[in-house]
Structure 1
Amino acid sequence: MTTRWTTHGVELLPTTVRKHFRPDADGDPSREWRALTLLDQHAPGLAPRPLSLAAHTVTMTRLPGVPLRGTDLTPTHLDALAHATDRLLHAVPSDVAARLPARRWDVAASVAAIRHRTRHASAPALTAGLRWLADAEPELLAGSAVAVPVLGQADGNLANFLWDGAEVRLVDFEDSGRSDRPYELAELVEHISTWVDTDLDAPAFLARFTLSPADDARLLQCRRLFALLWLVFLTTDPATEARNPPGTAARQAARLLALLDR
């Protein structure tokens, strides 16, 4: 069911799914359709197969499985999640990914949102985050410019990762676009869904990927950016605050400060 916080409604049929985008919302059916089409070509089975795009509705195949969000994640889950994520980030050739529009909430958009929403910030964690961002922004933007382009899902919510008992498959690509591996991995491990009602072991998950020293350095900076962005959402957006348990903002502040201390 579509709510005032969502961009779309989902109609579940026996073998297909219809995703109805609200014309007045920020969801983008063309991004969803483009990503599903590319993945059907380069990584069949990882995501739903696109069937039709009409007006504001994308029809796709229905995947088996249950969302990982809210489950007790075992090493087997982490293996499958890492495999699916790695497959996604290597699926689309870099020359093809380079021609995609930038994903939503890329570095520039995230920095702009943080600055816009924290003009009068005084909380210690926000102040520390903004001080870090003032120095880190050039490096973050430069990293985006030189990183190997990939198709990014642009939504690390664990509800979008479906476990069928053997494999993990991915849904929800309405914000997808050109990105890079460290940025996408950072969004996934720092998404609020990985700890507010699920316990994803970030070090164990990230250890399943082979990253260069440069990727490791960018990953940490991107994790800090997403942690700051989530803290901004939790402290300035009543809808985000209302969807989460009491004390979530304080826990997020602690997460940010811990990353800044690394």
Structure 2
Amino acid sequence: MGGHSIELRSDVVIKRYRSSGYGEPEREWRALELLGEHDPGLAPAPVTAELAADPPTVVMSRLDGTTVSGEIAGKLVDALAEAITGVQRSIPSGVLDRVPARAGHPVHLLSTVREWAAAATPEPATAEALRAATDWVAGPGLEARFAQPGTPVFGTGDGNLSNYLWDGTRVRVVDFEYSGRSDLAFELAEVTEHISVWENDPAGLTAVLDRFELTAEEAARLMECRRLLALYWLLRCRGEIRPAQADRMLALL
């Protein structure tokens, strides 16, 4: 979805947007302002924005830390859980109610995945998983279940592990181009099933997810959202042999 260029300076980051079809500059600036007010330090501080410029530009503070990589264990588990929770929960409900929905929604993703699944040609390494997942995604009532509102949270709209910066003590979060009001299960699924997470550590964010106490309803919705995102990545990466992704898809089913 779109793109941007980044200019790193000693104290600030300048982000110029090549695409704004999803309102990326406005979403980013809104997120920086909201998180700066309600959980300062968790995300870059907003400096200036030229949202009507060509290209639209947002200037934000430069954070310490490096992209999370390697085994997700020890202090990093708690730091990631704290950062994810901070993004999702720090904005008061009365304020969150007025925030536009994030770019992308489970129902929209379901429609995309159904189209991809119908056109996919199975490969031997992934055929069993794709068959089972295609049966699941075509099931009756799935669209209605995804259309139901989940527990409201603020969502980044992007689960890429490279958006989480670790300084050895705290994890901070960057990249809010597709952010907005979302639901807990979909946002947790977005980050736990992102392909970057599983390529980084075979255990993924399993330990991080264990830090979240969910109701039975939230847990059930999370499982369906994880299946949806896992199938999205299985189909998006078709043409590449990814038996681990196929195994994970079968496990989630």
Task: Output the TM-score relative to the length of structure 1.
Answer: 0.86
Please give the alpha-carbon distance, in whole angstroms, between the structure 2 residues aligned to 1:33 and 1:200.
33
Residues 73/19 of structure 1: CA separation in 2 closer, same or farther (3 Å cut) = same
Counterpart amino acid of residue 22 in structure 1:
R
Using the TM superposition, give the Cα deviation of residue 187 of structure 1 relative to its aligned residue in structure 2, in angstroms: 1.1
Match for residue 141 of structure 1 among 127, 143, 147: 147
Equivalent AA in structure 1 for residue 14 of structure 2? R
Q: What corresponds to 1:20 in structure 2?
A: 16
For residue 248 of structure 2, the aligned residue among 243, 255, 262 is 255
| Residue 48 in structure 1 maps to residue 47 in structure 2 | no
Q: Structure 1: state its 5+ residue gaps.
A: 236-240
In structure 2, how many angstroms separate the alpha carbons of the residues matched to 1:201 and 1:227?
12
**Which residue identity is paired with 2:151?**
V
Change (3 A) 1:200 1:45: farther
- Name the Cα RMSD after superposition: 1.9
Q: After TM superposition, list the pairs within 5 Å mapping 1:57-72 onto structure 2.
A: 57-68=57-68, 70-72=69-71
Q: How does 1:93-172 map to 2 (within 5 A)?
A: 93-123=92-122, 124=127, 125-135=129-139, 136-142=142-148, 145=149, 147-172=150-175
Q: Secondary structure at the match of 2:71?
A: coil
Deviations 1:73-92 (A, max 9, x none): 22211110001111111111
- Counterpart amino acid of residue 110 in structure 1: L
Partner secondary structure for residue 100 of structure 1 = coil
Q: Matches of 1:59 and 1:114 in 2, distance apart?
A: 35
* SS of equivalent to 1:196: helix
Q: Which runs of 5+ in 2 are unaligned?
A: none
Residue identity opposite 2:37 in structure 1: Q
Q: Distance in 2 between matches of 1:64 and 1:215?
A: 34
Amino acid at match of 1:141: A
Task: Tell me if structure 1 keeps the 8 A contact 2:151–2:185.
Answer: no
Given that residues 22 and 103 in structure 2 are in contact (C-alpha distance below 8 angstroms), is that contact kept between their aligned partners in structure 1? no
Q: Which amino acid aligns with 1:45?
A: G
TM-score by length of 2: 0.88
Equivalent in 161, 182, 188 of residue 191 of structure 2: 188
One-letter code aligned to 1:156: G
Distance 1:203 1:45 in 2: 26
Structure 2: distance between partners of 1:31 and 1:171:
12
How many residues align structurally?
242
| Superposition deviation, residue 16 in structure 1 | 0.2
Q: Give 3-state SS (helix, strand or coil) of 2:200's partner.
A: coil
Q: CA 1:64 to 1:23, structure 2 compared with 1: closer, same or farther past 3 Å?
A: same
C-alpha distance in structure 1 between counterparts of 2:91 and 2:83, whole Å: 13
State the shift of 1:137 in Å.
Answer: 2.5
Range with greater deviation from structure 2 (51-60 or 124-133): 124-133
Counterpart residue type for residue 229 of structure 1:
Y
- Name 1:174's counterpart in structure 2: 177
- Give the Å deviation of 1:118: 3.0
Decide whether aligned partners of structure 1 residues 165 and 180 sit closer, same or farther in structure 2, where only a CA change above 3 A counts.
same
Deviations 1:204-258 (A, max 9, x none): 21111111111111111110010011112112xxxxx6xxxx533x322221111
Say which is worse superposed, 163-172 or 120-129, in terms of deviation: 120-129
Identity fraction in percent: 43
